[in-house]
Structure 1
Amino acid sequence: MPSTPRAPDRLAVPRYWLAHLRGLLRRGLSSLRSRGWRATWQRLLVHLRPPPPPPRTPLYLPEPAPFAPFAVPAAAAGTAPRASIVIPVYNHCEATLACLHALAAHPPAAACEVIVVDDGSSDDTAAWMPRVEGLRYHQRAANGGFIAACNHGASLARGEYLVFLNNDTIPQPGWLDALLATFAAHPGTGMAVAQLLYPDGRLQEAGGVVFADGSAWSYGRFESADDPRYAYVRDCDYGSGAALALPRGLFVQAGGFDTRYAPAYYEDTDLAFAVRALGHSVRYQPAARVVHDEGTTAGTDTGSGVKAYQVRNRGVFAARWAEALQAQPQPGSVPGPDLLHARQRRVLVVDEGVPHPDRDSASLRQFNLLRMLRDGGAHVAFLPTGLAHEGAATAALQQLGVETWYAPFAGSAATWLRANATRFDVIVVTRHHLASALLPLLRRHAPNARLVFDTIDLHYVRERRGAQLAGDAAALRAADATRASELAAMAMADLTLVVSDEERAQLAIDAPGVRVEVLSNLHEVAGPGAPFESRRDLVFVGGFRHPPNVDAVLWFGREVFPRIRQRLPDVRFHCIGAGPTAEIRALAEIPGIEVHGHVPDLDPYMDQVRIAVAPLRFGAGVKGKVNLSMAHGQPVVATSCAVEGMHLHDGMDVAVADTPEDFAEAVVSLYGDRGRWERQAAAGLDNVARHFSLEAARATVQRVFFDGTAAG
């Protein structure tokens, strides 16, 4: 029968606050003795500051209700779960019930099992848990404490991963899948720890920092969970055992939770150090959000009760890991990103907005560069001068491990740079109009940083060609102004990035004193895709906020495609790209032309369409659309302008044509010749691997971002 809810204890809240204040006083006096008054005052301010704004995503908190049977997620019979969620409990059955309701309300995609280990509860736990369908409920013979209960639960687990979860937590939707995804997205991860939140939405812990004396700090405590400092994946010293995951085999190899810390406290920190000693990383995952009602089960006063073991066990931990602790920072002020990343190469990238790699080649190049920097061990920050949080695109950078900023946490780009630029070794400013405005500021506030101007392409060359094609004298004068701006920015920077040898040769004439490096488009070689006989049609990919793409598709759709359609009456032309203009959309009235706009997943068009076209009549730089197709084994027909700077040869790895008649002939000929198509597809894949892959760019990235220690 359902149990009758107990009458509320009216003195519970006053008793909690009395114990909490007593604990604060005790910790404050201890901090004064060990850290001095300045650091203690700074830490006290953390506790006294006003609450931050609520999280962007509202918290899920189940409503209290009398017990009634329900079901928790459980792997299908005969199927090994991917994760075993181990929940140790000792009384507080209402908290356990809320935790299980949260798991039931938002089941993870990963197959899992939920194991509740009852460590001798005397309340209604034993009456309620057997009635929760799908739950593996285990009663221990006698109370042994948190560590014993966790290790016991681990011994019962069948999953590939062990996930330890306190019973006073409310896991938020998607928490487990995000936690498990950390292992695949960041190879070498041995432990993934969750973002812990207070029930009011404030941050409780964004991974932990351990100091040289063995003391620890919950990073981000009482701050906003959305603060960019705490919203990206990063290595951390440890994470609270309230919500963490690691491979079951690694848990066994590390010896489980060490019983020298029994009954509790510092066992999670010790396990994190053991995981690192075995050659693995401990990573904080902000997308795995878990509400933790800290103090529900153990209180907060370190001077009494089980919490007192926290003080004793710090000494035990410090003695065991004395050698490893020598590399940890000294205790002092509240840690920030400057302390956390002090031993890494620190790179800041500034652009107008965050990259959208599915929308344009410049974004894909930038995103892959950020990946390479992270893989190389650098700490990377990204400042979009527009300061907009761009949803999934911003989250993608944070999941990559990039410290990504946005309003309201950055008031303006200039203000943020004045406060933060000094902590970076290399600062990249993208696009000439940003470089012109920001490089003088950076030279002042980051005098020791290497300042890099990333051109994306030489804008003045592209503008000049477009003006010449249109016969527009005013546009020619504007191109000259752009040239002056770009060359002035190069003179202010320590180093300029261009995307092709042709652009480097142009600058040897126009700006001979500028140090230039070529960092071209960056692509992963996807592979050959579908074979010739399974492919059909033509495709163009390119955003229509870029004038050369608008001109190219209008020229192809009006002048070239009708000639192709006469000879290949069933062929279709797929026009893909964000922001199509009215003229571009009107091309859909021509038989065979389909204007798709933005397509989030390009793979079907890369892997199943027979030929890509790049009919650009003006532009500059290297054309990502050509690289993208070749990286998927898709042959390309292009103009001379489109293949500039790409190490391509007509008739071998590309077909080149510049008039409507020749372009149509090249498409029709390649479309029907299987042998030629296969040879060109293979040659294109080889071209991308040799010139435009991440591996091909590795030496340049090393020179630009990692070699040297000062400006220049």
Structure 2
Amino acid sequence: MKKKLLIIGLVWPEPKSSAAGSRMLQLVEQFQNQGYVITFSSAAKTSPNTYDLSSINVEKQPILLNDSSFDVFIKDLGPDAVLFDRFMTEEQYGWRVAEHCPDALRILDTEDFHGLRKAREEALKQNEVVSTAHLQNAITKREIASIYRCDLSLIISEAEMDILISQFKIDKSLLYYLPFLLDPISEDNIEKLPNFENRQHFITIGNFLHAPNYDAILYLKQTIWPLIRKQLPKTEIHIYGAYESQKVSQLNNKKEGFLIKGFAKDVNEVMQNAKVCLAPLRFGAGLKGKLIDAMQNGTPCVMTEIAAEGIFGELETNGFVNVDAEAFVEKVILLYNNSEIWEQKQQNGFEVLRKRFEKTEFESDFAKIIAELSNNLNAYRENNFIGQLLMHQSMQSSKYMSKWIEAKNR
């Protein structure tokens, strides 16, 4: 009998809208390769950008929040493992899974360290350096509690692994580093990419609903782009992203070459047309999908340290990393005008993809850890006393709040 995996999504996967959507499909592929039959459930609404899960043999099951119908559903399904998409879904459904399928392996895909992103956002607002006080916010506490309640948490960035282990003293056995899992790029495909002379203008891309992306666009508009246009007056920046709102649309200014392009139907096409990708993110966490897209399409980048975090390891970057606005712009101009440097940075990007993100480097070890956990689950849980503590009824405020909401809604 084949093993069953239930994925509980915060949203339905939208790989063309966000890196999180692409990440989820990568995980689906990994578990299918391990022999799991997968059901994907979510309480969110679908959108025109929602991926057709049936095309990859994944069953789709809508669920409700704060409703005991989920209890009936999961008991009937009887999954061997449950994957929570971000800590918020574990808060909502983790206790129900533990009650009705206690022997199911519980896995948390953090997507990124939300508490770290919040800490950086607050520090930016206060014009302060991120401190321990910023890190110890309410979101961090909720997220780490979720990590302890699960048997394994997937961490996408080595930088976040280090923070969780060194600063928050989380046992390494509860965490597993699993970055983006990419197919290799063939030399033939690399040779077909447009060269330096056949590209023009700048690009940035990212879901407009994501707060770090919107802040980066404002920073571009108000600070970075005017400095670039002074030196490259005929260039344009093309800004792509899903869920364009009015506050985003009104930033469009053709005269300034600041063009809001909206949803990109084909990210590869628009990225290949651009000469340089800009990623001036001032807060955030996790890995930045825009940088992966840029490297896959041979587009060098100029980025902040936060944008570059977790991507390059000890390897050379596919561009330049700067925080200061004037230094950022200086490197933008250099990269845009110098074909030799541009081509070297492009090659750096291909090397980073090969050495750090090819899925074949991670598949066997990931399958091994999932199998070991599944076969020795009780022993693993005995070593996680804090997790047991947090599952005790005296600590389960989310459970009783959910029951109260359900009763109130009747």
Q: If the length of structure 2 is used for normalisation, what is the TM-score?
A: 0.82
Q: Match of 1:617?
A: 282
Asked whether 1:436 is paired with 2:91, we answer yes
Q: Match of 2:248?
A: 584
Q: Match of 2:155?
A: 498
Q: In the alignment, which of 512, 517, 521 is matched to residue 180 of structure 2?
A: 521
Q: Match of 1:574?
A: 238
Note the C-alpha offset of 1:361.
0.6
By relative contact order (CA 8 Å, sep 6+), the higher-ranking structure is: 2
Q: In the alignment, which of 348, 352, 372 is matched to residue 10 of structure 2?
A: 352
Cα 1:686–1:418 shift into 2, 3 Å: farther
Q: In the alignment, which of 168, 171, 174 is matched to residue 510 of structure 1?
A: 168
Q: What is the rounded CA distance, in whole Å, between the counterparts of 2:54 and 2:67 in structure 1?
A: 19
Q: In the alignment, which of 426, 432, 436 is matched to residue 81 of structure 2?
A: 426
Cα 1:521–1:403 shift into 2, 3 Å: same
Note the C-alpha offset of 1:544.
1.4
Q: Match of 2:57?
A: 401
Q: Match of 2:138?
A: 481
1:73-88 equivalent positions in 2, closer than 5 A: none
Q: What is the rounded CA distance, in whole Å, between the counterparts of 1:563 and 1:651 in structure 2?
A: 26
Q: Match of 2:395?
A: none
Q: What is the rounded CA distance, in whole Å, between the counterparts of 2:119 and 2:373 in structure 1?
A: 36
Q: What is the rounded CA distance, in whole Å, between the counterparts of 1:499 and 1:478 in structure 2?
A: 18
Q: What is the rounded CA distance, in whole Å, between the counterparts of 1:389 and 1:637 in structure 2?
A: 34
Q: In the alignment, which of 285, 292, 308 is matched to residue 627 of structure 1?
A: 292
Note the C-alpha offset of 1:703.
3.4
Q: What is the rounded CA distance, in whole Å, between the counterparts of 2:127 and 2:195 in structure 1?
A: 45
Note the C-alpha offset of 1:709.
3.0
Q: In the alignment, which of 640, 650, 657 is matched to residue 322 of structure 2?
A: 657
Asked whether 1:451 is paired with 2:106, we answer yes
Q: Match of 2:360?
A: 695
Secondary structure at 2:6 match in 1 = strand
Q: Match of 2:264?
A: 599
2:318, 2:345 within 8 Å by CA — same for their partners in 1? yes
The letter of the residue matching 1:347 is: L
Q: What is the rounded CA distance, in whole Å, between the counterparts of 2:359 and 2:68 in structure 1?
A: 32
- Residue-by-residue CA offset, 1:626-677 (whole Å, 9 max, x unaligned): 1111111111110011111112569643311112111111111011111111
Q: What is the rounded CA distance, in whole Å, between the counterparts of 1:708 and 1:477 in structure 2?
A: 34
- Residue-by-residue CA offset, 1:129-168 (whole Å, 9 max, x unaligned): xxxxxxxxxxxxxxxxxxxxxxxxxxxxxxxxxxxxxxxx
1:426, 1:705 within 8 Å by CA — same for their partners in 2? no
Secondary structure at 1:539 match in 2 = strand
Cα 1:650–1:708 shift into 2, 3 Å: closer
1:523, 1:693 within 8 Å by CA — same for their partners in 2? yes
The letter of the residue matching 1:677 is: W
- Residue-by-residue CA offset, 1:20-60 (whole Å, 9 max, x unaligned): xxxxxxxxxxxxxxxxxxxxxxxxxxxxxxxxxxxxxxxxx
2:17, 2:49 within 8 Å by CA — same for their partners in 1? no
Q: Match of 2:384?
A: none
Note the C-alpha offset of 1:605.
1.0
Cα 1:636–1:649 shift into 2, 3 Å: farther
- Residue-by-residue CA offset, 1:467-487 (whole Å, 9 max, x unaligned): 0100199xx889711111111
Cα 1:441–1:348 shift into 2, 3 Å: same
Q: If the length of structure 1 is used for normalisation, what is the TM-score?
A: 0.48
- Residue-by-residue CA offset, 1:506-526 (whole Å, 9 max, x unaligned): 111314236100111233455
Secondary structure at 2:213 match in 1 = helix
1:457, 1:621 within 8 Å by CA — same for their partners in 2? yes
- Residue-by-residue CA offset, 1:87-132 (whole Å, 9 max, x unaligned): xxxxxxxxxxxxxxxxxxxxxxxxxxxxxxxxxxxxxxxxxxxxxx
Q: What is the rounded CA distance, in whole Å, between the counterparts of 1:452 and 1:414 in structure 2?
A: 22
- Residue-by-residue CA offset, 1:424-457 (whole Å, 9 max, x unaligned): 2221112222212221211111111110111111
Q: Match of 1:554?
A: 218
The letter of the residue matching 1:373 is: F
1:407-418 equivalent positions in 2, closer than 5 A: 414-418=68-72
Q: What is the rounded CA distance, in whole Å, between the counterparts of 2:46 and 2:226 in structure 1?
A: 43
Q: List 4+ stretches of structure 1 deviating above 6 A.
A: 410-413, 476-479
The letter of the residue matching 2:123 is: Q
Q: What is the rounded CA distance, in whole Å, between the counterparts of 2:242 and 2:285 in structure 1?
A: 20
How many residues are matched? Answer: 364
Cα 1:413–1:356 shift into 2, 3 Å: farther
Q: What is the rounded CA distance, in whole Å, between the counterparts of 1:549 and 1:518 in structure 2?
A: 24
Q: Match of 1:538?
A: 202
Note the C-alpha offset of 1:588.
1.4
Q: What is the rounded CA distance, in whole Å, between the counterparts of 1:559 and 1:649 in structure 2?
A: 30
Note the C-alpha offset of 1:417.
4.4
- Residue-by-residue CA offset, 1:276-330 (whole Å, 9 max, x unaligned): xxxxxxxxxxxxxxxxxxxxxxxxxxxxxxxxxxxxxxxxxxxxxxxxxxxxxxx
Q: What is the rounded CA distance, in whole Å, between the counterparts of 1:705 and 1:354 in structure 2?
A: 24
Asked whether 1:379 is paired with 2:76, we answer no
Note the C-alpha offset of 1:465.
0.6
Q: In the alignment, which of 228, 234, 249 is matched to residue 564 of structure 1?
A: 228
Q: What is the rounded CA distance, in whole Å, between the counterparts of 2:229 and 2:320 in structure 1?
A: 19
Secondary structure at 1:346 match in 2 = strand
1:372, 1:694 within 8 Å by CA — same for their partners in 2? no
Q: What is the rounded CA distance, in whole Å, between the counterparts of 2:214 and 2:303 in structure 1?
A: 15
1:525, 1:632 within 8 Å by CA — same for their partners in 2? no
Q: Match of 1:644?
A: 309
Q: What is the rounded CA distance, in whole Å, between the counterparts of 1:412 and 1:492 in structure 2?
A: 19
The letter of the residue matching 1:517 is: Y
The letter of the residue matching 2:279 is: A
Note the C-alpha offset of 1:704.
4.5
The letter of the residue matching 2:55 is: Q
1:347, 1:424 within 8 Å by CA — same for their partners in 2? yes
Q: What is the rounded CA distance, in whole Å, between the counterparts of 1:477 and 1:648 in structure 2?
A: 25
Q: Match of 1:185?
A: none
Secondary structure at 1:625 match in 2 = helix
Note the C-alpha offset of 1:699.
3.2
1:560, 1:660 within 8 Å by CA — same for their partners in 2? yes
Q: What is the rounded CA distance, in whole Å, between the counterparts of 2:65 and 2:117 in structure 1?
A: 34
Secondary structure at 1:405 match in 2 = strand
1:524, 1:631 within 8 Å by CA — same for their partners in 2? no
1:614, 1:637 within 8 Å by CA — same for their partners in 2? yes
1:127-142 equivalent positions in 2, closer than 5 A: none
- Residue-by-residue CA offset, 1:322-375 (whole Å, 9 max, x unaligned): xxxxxxxxxxxxxxxxxxxxx223221111221100001111111122123224
Note the C-alpha offset of 1:547.
0.8
The letter of the residue matching 1:592 is: G
Q: What is the rounded CA distance, in whole Å, between the counterparts of 1:694 and 1:414 in structure 2?
A: 38
Instruction: Provide structure 2 residue ranges, at least 5 long, that are not aligned to the other structure.
Output: 381-410
Q: What is the rounded CA distance, in whole Å, between the counterparts of 1:690 and 1:552 in structure 2?
A: 29
The letter of the residue matching 2:126 is: G
Larger mean Cα displacement after TM superposition, 590-599 or 610-619 = 590-599
Cα 1:655–1:472 shift into 2, 3 Å: closer
2:305, 2:322 within 8 Å by CA — same for their partners in 1? yes
Q: What is the rounded CA distance, in whole Å, between the counterparts of 1:601 and 1:439 in structure 2?
A: 36
2:317, 2:348 within 8 Å by CA — same for their partners in 1? yes
Asked whether 1:466 is paired with 2:130, we answer no
Note the C-alpha offset of 1:399.
0.7
- Residue-by-residue CA offset, 1:558-593 (whole Å, 9 max, x unaligned): 211111111112211000112334443232126111
Cα 1:636–1:696 shift into 2, 3 Å: farther
Larger mean Cα displacement after TM superposition, 636-645 or 683-692 = 683-692
Secondary structure at 1:647 match in 2 = coil
Note the C-alpha offset of 1:419.
3.2
The letter of the residue matching 1:485 is: R
